[in-house]
Amino acid sequence: MAEVDLKAVRKRYPNGMEAVKGVSIAIPDKALCVLVGPSGCGKSTLLRMVAGLETISEGEISIEGRVVNQVSPTDRDIAMVFQNYALYPHMKVYDNMAYGLRNRGTPKAEIDRRVREAAATLELGHLLDRRPRELSGGQRQRVAMGRAIVRQPKVFLFDEPLSNLDAKLRGQMRVEIKRLQRELGVTSLYVTHDQLEAMTLADLLVVMNAGEVEQAGDPLEIYEKPASIFVAGFIGAPPMNLIDPASAELSGPIPAGAAKLGFRPEDAILDGFASEGGLKIRAILDGVEPVGAESYLHAHAPAGGARMIVRTAGRARMEPGTELEIRAPAEKLHWFDAAGRRI
Amino acid sequence: MSGRVVFPNKLLPYLLLAPQLAITAVFFYWPASQALKQSMQREDPFGLQTTFVGLANFRRVLADPNYLNSVKVTAVFSLSTAFLALALALPLAVMAEKVVRGKGIYRTLLIWPYAVAPAIAGMLWLFLFNPAMGTFSYLLRANGVAWDPLLKDGQAMGLVVAAAAWKQISYNFLFFVAGLQAIPRSLIEAAAIDGASGPKRFWTIVFPLLAPTTFFLLVVNTVYAFFDTFGVIHAVTQGGPGKATETLVYKVYNDGFVNLQLGSSAAQSVILMGVVILLTAIQFRYVERKVHYG
Ligand SMILES: Nc1ncnc2c1ncn2[C@@H]1O[C@H](COP(=O)(O)OP(=O)(O)O)[C@@H](O)[C@H]1O
Ligand SMILES: [Mg+2]
């Protein structure tokens, strides 16, 4: 039962920078927890504290019920996939994967069995005699994965493992990682700044901002009910439209203290019928972004100038400058107070 | 973009190169050609007459047991110096990496010895270990060591090796520090997570990744010990006792300028020139495109 528990974890770097400001996360056994947030929000720092590569300034991290604050990375029984893969350049692929097992005194035959098994799973069988520099980016990524899985650790840690791959490969590997993690049933902590990656991978999604957790929970729930303007803007692409309630026509009541009103591009209707309690806003079309199966209409409100995006199916043929009437149903509206919190 | 600079004046580039070319010509090509000429001549004792003797000087030099002894001395001296200088610089560099406070000061202090001229370095060691007045000689003898580098071959060799290596430690230190910094931290971290203890990480990850630097330094140190240690030897032992520390370069000087056997000395320096060319070729071939990991 390798659950990972973070309790009020803080990190202050020697230069005074407080990168993590009291984060508590409970990752259940076998779950894949994704930390997502903009660059510099402290994701890597948090992950590295779980790995034991950074000291923990305050708080407590435990793995499988054991507090590991003072335990060295060597003894935490974790495996990590680095952003740059950190493959040992002077070792062949086989030795890269066998290194961790050798250090732990695993019998030779067992090492060989496990390395070949992992290589087969990751389709690396024909590359075992190569050195990392003779591999493509995607292959290196697989070796890094292989190095992690042969160890059969309690916890997998991933620090933006796919960010150096091209879009197509990234999509493939995303599925692959999810499948492997399911099959192996290893509790995992995965860091990314890519919200799509986060949404598709996570069992437990944690949205971070400036060293703090903005929201944690089921990814779809977070999508449906973002706890703050920050989350609303970060999760979902294109991001949620945020407007000043005063600039729109609202046929329903405005909640007390509401300062911002949000609706997702896919919830906007162009020429539908106004529903009870819904929103209506005039906008000028700035341009159309056709992405194939759907199009994104970029527009701005003449009153207040708020920018909005509307998603429509198929190909929209409209000229920039066209006046639009954008509507959104009441149940799809998100209200936020002046501090940016959900109402 | 070809990155090429085009001079408006055809003459200017040559003019700009002229000083360097002149220096090379006066201090290298001319003496080298003189040596080549002299190596095939024999001069009478009064310097009045020279005769062309072809390769006779070379034949004599290569058959001379003293010369062969000097080859052996040079090999022992160079390899010991290079090995000692590398073996001491590496742990210093590794430790310098770990220093948190005062890193700059620590490094600067370790680099200083490189600024000391070889002859001065030699004198320093000579004074410290002089059997008559050296502080360390006193300490050694007080501890029951029969210390007398003026009479004992091995001790004399040890002393010149130490003096020569001491100076080179700084240089090696600098390169090792740079080499260590070039190793991505994530590799060390990955190894730690892979269960490798500190020493194991060093020998299985850091040391192999430093191999290109180490090889480069081995060549540079050997070349240094071969050709740049005249000052040290001259100051400390003058090739003695007997010929125990007479390296090839020192022998060229001894035979030519002390014993005035110009033909033999010139032949020796031509041989050395060949060795330099060979070592430089090795350096360019293997070091310039050293083992690259990536
Ligand atoms: N070793 C360090 N010393 C001081 N500050 C650091 C150090 N590492 C990271 N930081 C700072 O901590 C913050 C969080 O960094 P990081 O965890 O790498 O963010 P992320 O992975 O989310 O992009 C950043 O502002 C970064 O500049
Ligand atoms: Mg990061």
The answer to the question of residue B38 being in a domain is: no
Distance from the alpha carbon of residue A82 to the mean position of ligand 2, in angstroms = 10
CATH code of the domain made up of A4-234: 3.40.50.300
Q: How confident is the model at residue B128 (pLDDT cuts 50, 70, 90)?
A: confident
Amino acid B267: pLDDT: 85
Topology, domain A241-337? OB fold (Dihydrolipoamide Acetyltransferase, E2P) (2.40.50)
The residue assigned the tokens 């240690």 is: B229
Residues 6+ apart with CB under 8 A from B12: none
pLDDT of residue B292 exceeding 50, the answer is: no
Instruction: Kindly report, residue by residue over B54-103, the tens digit of the pLDDT.
Output: 777 888 888 888 888 888 889 999 999 999 999 999 999 988 888 777 77
Taking CA atoms only, the protein residue closest to ligand 1 atom 4 is: A13
Name the DSSP letter for residue B284: I
The answer to the question of residue B26 being in a domain is: no
The answer to the question of residue B185 being in a domain is: yes
B265 vs B144, residue with greater confidence: B265
The answer to the question of residue B28 being in a domain is: no
Which of A313, A287, A226 has its CA nearest to residue A261? A226
Range of the structural domain that residue B259 is part of:
64-287
Q: Is the CB of A42 under 6 A from ligand 1?
A: yes
Instruction: Kindly report, residue by residue over A163-218, the tens digit of the pLDDT.
Output: 988 988 899 899 999 999 999 999 999 999 999 999 999 999 999 999 999 999 99
pLDDT of residue B189 exceeding 80, the answer is: yes
pLDDT of residue B294 exceeding 50, the answer is: no
ipTM for this model? 0.87
Written as six digits, the tokens of A134 are 């003779």
Question: How far does B92 lie from chain A, in Å, by closest CA?
Answer: 24
Question: How far does B204 lie from chain A, in Å, by closest CA?
Answer: 9
Q: What percent of chain A has pLDDT over 70?
A: 98
Q: What total number of domains does chain B contain?
A: 1
- Strand B50-52 relative to strand B41-43: parallel, antiparallel, unpaired? antiparallel
Is A148:A156 a contact under the CB 8 Å cutoff? yes
Distance from the alpha carbon of residue A285 to the mean position of ligand 1, in angstroms = 40
Show residues of chain A in contact with B205, CB under 8 Å: 88
- Which of A47, A49, A53 is best to mutate for the B interface (most B CBs within 10 A)? A53
Q: What CATH number has the domain bearing residue B231?
A: 1.10.3720.10
pLDDT of residue B293 exceeding 70, the answer is: no
Q: Return left, alpha or beta for B137; rule: phi > 0 is left, psi -120 to 50 is alpha, else beta.
A: alpha
Domain ranges of chain A: 4-234, 241-337
How far apart CA A119 and CA A129 sit, in angstroms, is: 12
Instruction: Kindly report, residue by residue over A48-89, the tens digit of the pLDDT.
Output: 999 999 999 999 999 999 999 999 999 999 999 999 999 999
Written as six digits, the tokens of B154 are 């091995």
User: Could you tell me the maximum CA-CA distance found in chain A, to the nearest angstrom?
Assistant: 73
Instruction: Kindly report, residue by residue over A94-110, the tens digit of the pLDDT.
Output: 999 999 999 999 999 99
Count of beta carbons in the 10 Å neighbourhood of residue A298: 17
Do A4-234 and A241-337 come out as alike in CATH topology? no
Instruction: Kindly report, residue by residue over A280-336, the tens digit of the pLDDT.
Output: 888 999 999 988 889 999 999 887 788 999 998 888 788 898 888 888 888 889 999
